Structure 1
Amino acid sequence: MPRGSNAKRERQYEHIKESARDRGESNKRAEEIAARTVNKERARSGESKSASKTSTQDMSSGKRGGQRSGKGSQGPTYDQLYEEAKRRNIDGRSDMNKQQLQRALGGK
């Protein structure tokens, strides 16, 4: 648990850590995710002594949800690719699989 935290942040930390464990993260990784998230929220709300620009100006962790989930080893999800194809008005997108959507969008 990050130093200088209050009871609310401790509960938040435990909740995030348990959620990460439920998703299959190791205990060490779950603790890291929870600590980083709580520290960022503390910085955003002015509870910490110092804060980086990204901590204070980026969207909140709760609002962001899984919006950046496509940055991992698997790449963007099918739904993310489909939405991008829809935005670009690519014909035939509803009949395409993930690999075809990637090619149509200029990927692999």
Structure 2
Amino acid sequence: MPTTWTQKDEKQYKKIRESALERGKSSSEAKEIAARTVNKQRRKEGRTPQETTQGTGNPNTRLEDRTVDELYNLAKEHHIQGRSKLNKAELIEAIRDKR
């Protein structure tokens, strides 16, 4: 757990991690789910320098359910040219074409 987390964040992390383990997730998956959830909440509350996610979203989530920022980051990983000018639907189409 990062040192910048409050006790409330750590408590939330542990509860989410334990819940994920009970649902059959592996230890590493449970830790990732918990950390992503806590960090998302911290971003939402403005307690982190990043206003938006730096990631590509949950790989088990459909592309349509991800944010434009997550799709942009995914397009960046796939080296899609002109990604900054694409809207959400165009990003999804470009990512699917690269897969």
Scaled by the length of structure 2, the TM-score of the pair is 0.51
Give the letter for the 1:5 counterpart.
W
Q: Work out the CA distance in 1 between the residues paired with 2:25 and 2:12.
A: 17
> What residue number does 2:18 align with?
18
Q: Distance in 2 between matches of 1:4 and 1:70?
A: 28
RMSD: 2.1
Identity %, equivalent residues: 45
1:40-81 per-residue CA deviation (whole Å, 9 max, x = no partner) reads: 00000111111216xxxxxxxxxxxxxxx985xxxxxxxxxx
- Alpha carbons 1:13, 1:34 under 8 Å: kept: yes
Q: Which amino acid aligns with 1:32?
A: E
Does the residue aligned with 2:50 lie in a helix, a strand or coil?
A: coil
Q: TM-score, normalised by structure 1?
A: 0.47
For 1:105, the equivalent position in structure 2 comes to none
Equivalenced residue count is 57
Which segments of 5 or more consecutive residues in structure 2 lack a partner in the other structure? 54-59, 63-99
Partner-residue secondary structure (3-state), 1:24: coil
Task: Tell me the residue number matched to 1:65.
Answer: none
Cα gap change, 1:70/1:28 in structure 2, threshold over 3 Å: closer, same or farther?
Answer: closer
Q: Could you list the runs of 4 or more consecutive aligned residues of structure 1 that deviate by over 4 angstroms after TM superposition? A: none
The structure having more radius of gyration, on CA atoms, is: 1
Residues in 2 aligned to 1:70 and 1:51: alpha-carbon distance in whole angstroms:
21
Task: Assess if the C-alpha contact under 8 Å between 1:13 and 1:38 holds in 2.
Answer: yes
